[in-house]
Structure 1
């Protein structure tokens, strides 16, 4: 089966062809996958940023609010749990929580089980924004995938899952 016009001579094909001429002894097959994944990741980052912006959020705000929203009511976590969920440092989390609190998206209160710490709770305003962002994101990502059948999407998920799993 020959490739369709949209599957021939894209940027990655041209990149691989050029490098093949310079380094004919190197197997550049991995570039075929990884360069396309990088391009897809860059496209996804732009799509996500636009979806979050349309809901009045920055990507970092979405990350923190989404971590809280996924929790069962009352949608609260301590800062250490938020750091683990968002994979950022303590100082960055403090700054983010200050900003989100100023915007009225989260409330902080003393932790009744540990007087030295606080609990961060999603407010109704924060829930409205993060829910809107998720709706926007799902619609936009669905639109991006419209050219793939459900079966193709399932195959892609299966293959990507294998690719990102730890080899051990």
Structure 2
């Protein structure tokens, strides 16, 4: 695996790096999913297994992406899910607080374990939970000053790691991929599309 910890955010105004062409030339012999598709075609030619070309790669890439992001976040003492909570609160704007349901609706992972995750972040002094003054039964999750500092430190490294994962694409290819994935995501899970209300 390429160590991403050494990657910093690009300097503002610096020219974008050209995609690394060697990465494209190596992809066929290193593509685990492509080899699997060939086996399916050989052993079960009666099935249209062309969906694996996309779905199989998405499943494989989830592990690759999370492993890479966790490597970048490790120096900050964070895993991706912990970082995601801090970053989501940070970009919500002052006063950097959300209800747990609003926070969950904005996160890119499912609700399982969110309560334990918030307990851990609160124990570490990164968030604070309090009663919602507008609803005595409700709870607000607020980023602490320490949590904000940590989020601000980690965000450039995280953004640079995301760009590094896409380094083999030209900007127009990246935009096309983003559009296609958006269509696939909203078409199959429309509840992931609307902004939280």
TM-score, normalization by structure 2: 0.72
Q: Greater share of helix residues, 1 or 2?
A: 1
**Secondary structure of residue in 2 paired with 1:165:** helix
Find the partner of 1:88 among 111, 127, 148.
111
**Secondary structure of residue in 1 paired with 2:128:** strand
Taking the TM superposition and a 5 Å limit, the aligned residue runs for 1:80-159 are 80-86=101-107, 87-89=110-112, 92-159=113-180
Offset, 1:145: 1.7
Question: Structure 2 stretches of 5 or more lacking a match?
Answer: 1-23, 191-197
Taking the TM superposition and a 5 Å limit, the aligned residue runs for 1:1-168 are 5-9=25-29, 10-86=31-107, 87-89=110-112, 92-166=113-187
Contact 1:111–1:119 (CA under 8 A) maintained in structure 2: yes
Offset, 1:121: 1.4
Q: Distance in 1 between matches of 2:27 and 2:85?
A: 38
**Secondary structure of residue in 2 paired with 1:27:** coil
Structure with greater contact order relative to length (CA < 8 Å, sep ≥ 6): 2
Which is greater in Rg?
1
Contact 1:55–1:130 (CA under 8 A) maintained in structure 2: no
Offset, 1:82: 2.7
| Gap change, CA 1:163 and 1:72, over 3 Å in 2 | same
CA offsets 1:27-78 (integer angstroms, 9 cap, x no match): 2221122222222222111112112222221222112212211212010122
TM-score, normalization by structure 1: 0.83
Q: Distance in 2 between matches of 1:11 and 1:112?
A: 53
User: What count of residue pairs does the alignment treat as equivalent?
Assistant: 163
**Secondary structure of residue in 2 paired with 1:110:** strand
